[in-house]
Chains A and B, each alone.
Chain A
Amino acid sequence: MKTLVVFPNKELLYAASTLGGEVAALVFSQKEAEAVSGKAHKILVAEVDPRLPDAAAEAVAKAAAGYDLVLMPSTKNAKTVGGLAAQKLGVELLVDVLSMRAEGGVLTAERYVFGNKAVATVQVSLPAVVTVAPGRFQGEPPAVQSAVEKLALAPTSRLKIVAVEEKSRGAVRLEEAEIIVSVGRGFKKKEDLQMAFELAKVLGGQVGCSRPIAADLKWLPEEHWVGLSGKKVKPKLYLAIGISGQPQHIAGILDSRIIAAINNDPSAPIFQNADYGVVEDLYKIVPILINKISKLKGG
């Protein structure tokens, strides 16, 4: 088995090592090469701008020669690079893979499909390209000797990046949060979200939200957005307040250990997807929860 990891990070290098055999990493600068030194048998350095999907895909397609599997993170840019490279190579691309196993030239992988209402077990022949769902491969890549090589390449891109605008990024790291208090359209005004922030604070958690809160109402920056098209989270407690529980929202919280919900509509679908549900007006119960929990924590 020979695996090429593109945009390498600890998780991907570990995932590659679980397949056995040789692991190579494709990086786009000398600095990145240093960062993965000792974690891959071979490090290929392509001096192209990885933000340009066509240039990056050219590098991937060239570097992939002789490898059974190309592994990438499940970021938007990597998926674009993966699609381009896979079509060039005439191979399959599986994205957001939860688990995988390679045997006899065949890759068997699992991924969520149909709005995360089903798990597909997919078999494709190798070589193939895979993007790995975050948080699925946790471990240390073994220490190895690294040989560094330059990838000779005259990449061409027809894209021009005119400007880059950073999105406001607070201290929110929902993917890593242990407790998430999440808000939906049950909140009537932006100011009322303050209650959720207070509850999150006394619980030592962070605030998440449904799509309309971030995308339509823009009450919170997008980094708070949970769901199929937002963040996939895996806290020990996910507390959904004023969220109806549409499948696209549930898709982001499947890996939560405990899901609790507050909604004043007893028929809200969120109750079918929660461990503990409370049928109550959030405006009545949230202040009480803040009060009781802060007392509990000795505050």
Chain B
Amino acid sequence: MKIAVLIKTALDTGQLRVRDTVVVEETPLKISDIDRNAVEEAVKLKGKDKAYGVTVLKWGPLQKKVQEAENVLREALAMGLDEAYLVADEKLLNASHIATAKAIAAVVKKVGADLVLAGEATVDNYTGQIPARVAAELGWPVITYARELKVEGGRVVARRDLEDHVEVVEAPLPAVVSVTREINQPRIPTLLAIRAAMKKPINRLTLADLGISVEPKISAAYKPLVIQRKKIVIKDGTPEEKAEKLIQYLRQEGVI
């Protein structure tokens, strides 16, 4: 089964560069965590066919981030993907989600796939909308938040993990499925696999290559959240004394 895996080269939220605002340009990229689970699932399901990664670069500056994105994609290739497509175009930086989905769908149409796998949400934006948008663009059914997945007889059956219940849902292929972190344990690539990944192709595409044009950009300002906590730490004394001290503080605050 031919599989396309959607991989967000996301801002590494553990290494945000912050001044008055978040300096996106200086913040490094990493693979959006849950996309590792999507890659793992693809490697398990692909059988003798190919699985490829698709990334639409959203963060600039273009040249610098293309380099980082390629390194991120090498990781996914080392996990077992056969090939990767990196859509890098000035017009897609900070572009609307409509544009991202169009670009992803264009790659999937160009390369072909029986199944598109994605993460449930990205670490930098956490919106969970791209899988549904890509499905709408392709005209395929979508199953989101899958924590278990089976493909049998041209159909995909998934356990959809919703807030209060789990739904067992079925859809015909081709389809788009987004997965949760619980679906599997992503493999850690061996040194050998990492070396082999250096030889796998990363195809770079522009909007012109895909023959599409896109909507305007999103205008956004990112202000770091300053957590103003009192940070009073009780270190000294016996456990008894510390407990007494904590209770005193909490009573002063009127919370107990």
**Bound-state Cα–Cα, A241 to B22, Å:** 31
**Contact status B219-A123, CB under 8 Å:** yes
A159-B171, A280-B242 known; A83 vs B131 contact (CB < 8 Å): yes
* Count of chain B residues with a beta carbon within 8 Å of a chain A beta carbon: 74
- Of B133, B229, B249, which one neighbours A273 at CB under 8 angstroms? B229
**Contact status B231-A277, CB under 8 Å:** yes
A122-B220, A160-B169, A164-B165 known; A275 vs B129 contact (CB < 8 Å): no
The interface residues of chain B lying within 8 Å CB-to-CB of A288 are 239-240, 243
**Contact status A258-B250, CB under 8 Å:** yes
What is the 8 Å Cβ interface bit string for chain A, positions 65-95, against chain B (1 contact, 0 not)? Answer: 0000000000111011111101110111111
Q: Is the interface of A mostly helix, strand, loop or mixed?
A: mixed
**Contact status B171-A276, CB under 8 Å:** no
**Contact status B169-A159, CB under 8 Å:** yes
Q: Which of B197-227 contact A (CB under 8 A)?
A: 215, 218-225, 227
Is the C-beta of A11 less than 8 angstroms from some C-beta in chain B?
A: no
A87-B98, A162-B157, A228-B126 known; A254 vs B227 contact (CB < 8 Å): yes
**Contact status A167-B246, CB under 8 Å:** no
- Specify which of B124, B131, B220 lies most central, judged by the most chain A CB atoms within 10 Å of its CB: B220
**Bound-state Cα–Cα, A118 to B20, Å:** 11
**Bound-state Cα–Cα, A192 to B64, Å:** 50
Is the C-beta of A154 less than 8 angstroms from some C-beta in chain B?
A: no
**Contact status A277-B135, CB under 8 Å:** no
20 intermolecular pairs with C-beta atoms under 8 Å apart: A53-B144, A79-B127, A113-B126, A114-B13, A118-B16, A118-B224, A120-B223, A121-B223, A158-B141, A159-B171, A161-B168, A254-B225, A254-B227, A258-B253, A276-B230, A276-B250, A278-B233, A278-B243, A279-B233, A281-B239
Taking A53-B142, A96-B127, A215-B181 as given, write out 20 further A-B residue pairs in contact, using a Cβ cutoff of 8 Å, ordered by the A residue number: A54-B142, A57-B132, A80-B131, A82-B132, A112-B225, A114-B124, A115-B14, A117-B16, A120-B222, A122-B220, A160-B170, A163-B167, A166-B165, A258-B255, A266-B235, A278-B234, A280-B242, A289-B247, A292-B243, A293-B256
